[in-house]
Amino acid sequence: MFEDRPDRDAEVVLVGRSNVGKSTIMRELTGHDVSVGGKPGVTRQPNHFDWASESFMFTDLPGFGFMSGVEEDRREQIKTDVIRYVEENAERILAGVVVLDGKSAVDIIDRHRERGNVPHDVEMFAFLEDVGVDPIVAVNKTDKIDDLDERLDEICDRLGLYPPWQQWSDTVAPICAKRGDIDALEECLRDRFHDHNRDDLLKFVS
């Protein structure tokens, strides 16, 4: 179970499969270097960034789903811990950012559905809505996608958002964290902060 959550009353959490680029996004958001690994499952505990004088932090939650070299029961435990963390802190979470690998997300979702499973990404998106956390979908690694509009439409379709994706621009954020291009995500976060009457936090996503 995740312990030692800093005592902050507002938070943005990043959730998603292993190796989708959450730690790289965190580095872009915070300006702080974090352990970024080419190997899935590097982040096993939440990474909290609570350096600000405001009662606010960004939290990078461990990746779930397949991780090479990690036992299945351990993977399930991580996912359970992530869900419990979000549930317990839902009132403090201003936005839950579901990070997807734009290149592979649709294939992974479809593969799980064919096996009769609810894909983790779809489950997490719905779960955030269920606990009252406004989800943002950060579609990362857009530099590897040929027809971006088509791919974003497909992702919206899989998440139950009616395409075209442009009408969800306050929810779906195409980014390329590796190249430092997270403008669309920051814009979505600005909307969430404003909706929560936390304009004092806008400087963190300007």
Domains, the chain: 10-205 (3.40.50.300)
Mean pLDDT across the chain, nearest whole number? 89
Ordered DSSP codes for 97-144: EEEEETTTHHHHHHHHHHTTPPPHHHHHHHHHHHTT--EEEEEE-GGG
**Adjacent-strand bridge partners of 76:** none
Asked whether the predicted pLDDT for residue 4 surpasses 90, the reply is no
> Whole-prediction pTM value?
0.91
How many angstroms separate the CA atoms of 172 and 142, rounded? Answer: 13
- Residue located via tokens 């719905």: 126
How much is the pLDDT for 38?
47
Assign residue 186 a region (left: φ > 0; alpha: ψ between -120 and 50; beta: otherwise).
alpha
pLDDT 10s digits, 59-100: 999 887 766 666 778 878 888 899 999 999 999 999 999 999
pLDDT 10s digits, 103-153: 999 999 999 999 988 888 999 999 999 999 999 999 999 999 999 999 999
How much is the pLDDT for 200?
93
The more confident residue out of 1 and 177 is 177
